[in-house]
Amino acid sequence: MADLFIKQSKQYAVARPGYSEKLFQFIASKAAAHDLAWDVGTGSGQAARSLAEIFNNVVATDTSQKQLECAPKLPNVRYEHTPPVLTIPEIERKLASKSSVDLVTIAQALHWFDLPSFYEQVKWVLKKPHGVIAAWCYTVPRVNNNVDTVFNRFYSIDVEPYWDRARKLVDNRYSTVDFPFEPVRGEGSTGPFEFVTERLMDLDGFFTYIRSWSAYQTAKDKGVELLSDDVMEEFKQAWNAGGGDEQKAVNYPVYLRVGRVGN
């Protein structure tokens, strides 16, 4: 999975959206303590940055060293480059001891994981009985009717053949992902719960976001330029329709699964 993002790691760090404060407030309210959080698949540290404002300590891991090099350096965040598969002894040696983590987060990455193995690690490392796991994804961006119409055709026709099959879990808003945990306090299910994150972008920034996709890189490796001159011109006309502003508010729907371990 990490190989899909190596070539565009800087674009990923620059163009990918952050996450709303409401999302982290909701997650933090479900954790019994705020001592230690483990951010898995941290990428360039978008979630780790926000977690560091709430938790005393954050350990953030990723299989891509290039992505980690783009992450923000913060005094209470420790970044670790890890192999795709971690053993329990490796977790204990490098990350945290058994039943010591208050929260495990996975932002836009759960669909890449070997879930049975990963969930064993989560249940081992989380505090019992109230340790919390929170995994979320964001789906396609929404701008306005003009841009969205062009984007929807582009996404469903041009881009779709180049997505890994794991992308279906994102398109399904994580509603079909295996998530064997108990509902957190105050909630009757593990979700998905819907949030939204917003980012101001100009058209060049929007194109940079598209170029950060794994599907874009896969297509490029096959000799296909998804953002051809014709496609970019179509987006430009939609972006500027009605004399629109150079920058626009781009909204990303976010879907959260959150649960806790039992005794």
- 80-94, 194-208, 239-253: the lowest-pLDDT one: 239-253
Residue type at position 18:
G
Residue 175 pLDDT exceeds 50: yes
pLDDT band, residue 262 (cuts 50/70/90):
confident
What was the pLDDT predicted at 85?
Answer: 86
In terms of phi and psi (left: phi > 0; alpha: psi -120 to 50; beta: otherwise), the region of 164 is beta
For the segment 22-46, the average pLDDT, to the nearest whole number, is: 95
Smallest Cα–Cα separation from 237: which of 150, 156, 154?
Answer: 150
pLDDT in tens, 51-85: 999 999 999 999 999 889 989 999 999 999 999 88
Smallest Cα–Cα separation from 139: which of 179, 107, 173, 177?
Answer: 173
What was the pLDDT predicted at 7?
Answer: 46
Ordered by start, the domain boundaries in the chain are 3-142+164-200+251-260
Residue 10 pLDDT exceeds 60: no
At 2 the three-state DSSP class reads coil
State how far the Cα of 101 lies from the Cα of 115, in Å rounded to an integer. Answer: 19
Residue 261 pLDDT exceeds 60: yes
What was the pLDDT predicted at 245?
Answer: 66
- Which of residues 12 and 123 earns the better pLDDT score? 123
pLDDT in tens, 138-149: 999 999 999 999
pTM: 0.89
pLDDT band, residue 246 (cuts 50/70/90):
confident
Q: Would strands 36-40 and 103-107 be described as parallel, antiparallel, or unpaired? A: parallel
pLDDT in tens, 91-100: 999 999 999 9
pLDDT band, residue 4 (cuts 50/70/90):
very low
What was the pLDDT predicted at 3?
Answer: 47
CATH for 3-142+164-200+251-260 is 3.40.50.150
Neighbouring residues of 171: CB distance < 8 A, sequence distance ≥ 6: 139
